[in-house]
Amino acid sequence: MKGYLVRIGVDQVYGRWNAPVDPATGEFVYVPIPDGDAKLYASGLKREYGEFVEPLSEFSRRFPDGHPSSVAVPRALLTKKLHLDPDFDYLTYGDNGARRGAGISKLERDDLVVFYAGLRPITARAGLVYALVGILVVDEIIAAQTVETARRMENAHTRWSSIAAEDFVVRGRRRLSGRFDRCVPIGEFRDRAYRVRTELESAWGGLSVKDGYIQRSAVPPAFLAPQLFYEWFIEQDVKLLRRNN
């Protein structure tokens, strides 16, 4: 088994905002990063941030004490193009095998792509909750250019009108993959950066990054002992959802 830890979701670098989380329950809203301004889409395949207004509004209704700026998509973001990836509706994740996704492109069936995000607590304005939010247990990995027309809506990398030869799509195994019903916090601010808590990294068997660094990386961290991580993950008893929100 092999596996990678992949950061997803809108943040201060990509979108200048963080999606909300209720620290008490772990409930959160998944909001993806923006797409490049120059990106064009195949007919009928463009996705928009407006799709996330209602999930955020519902979240706000459930947690009325939350800070208003934590539970509403900023106006500036609503005008951006949307890079909906991973897409938990279809259990897919896309990347480019010539760049940051080189290692992921070589994964095989039953390997792991584990997703985490930096989420903003609804009741506080300081600090983020770095937490696991989803997982794909690999079913197959295919070149994005080979995806049939009828399935191009399943991932951001196949919705574009022009698809790079190095782009690929990971498809997750059903019943073993999905968005989490609640996030699983893994991070802490230590030594001037967000890092995986030391006891967790030890329980997982280690990561390929120095001192659990997960704040930002050009290459996704690899699990050094993915089987140990997966055994730990099963013990967390999270429910897997086949939907984005």
Instruction: Assess whether pLDDT exceeds 80 at residue 174.
Output: yes
Are the C-beta atoms of residues 130 and 186 closer than 8 Å to each other? yes
pLDDT band at 123 (very low <50, low <70, confident <90, very high): confident
Predicted confidence at residue 114, as pLDDT, reads: 98
pLDDT band at 57 (very low <50, low <70, confident <90, very high): very high
Residue 127's identity, in one-letter code, is: G
The range of the structural domain enclosing residue 181 comes to 3-241
User: Any idea what DSSP says for residue 59?
Assistant: H
Domain count, the chain: 1
Predicted confidence at residue 228, as pLDDT, reads: 98
User: Any idea what DSSP says for residue 226?
Assistant: H
pLDDT band at 134 (very low <50, low <70, confident <90, very high): very high
Predicted confidence at residue 218, as pLDDT, reads: 83
Say how far residue 206 (Cα) sits from the centre of its chain: 21
Are the C-beta atoms of residues 237 and 182 closer than 8 Å to each other? no
Predicted confidence at residue 95, as pLDDT, reads: 98
Predicted confidence at residue 65, as pLDDT, reads: 86
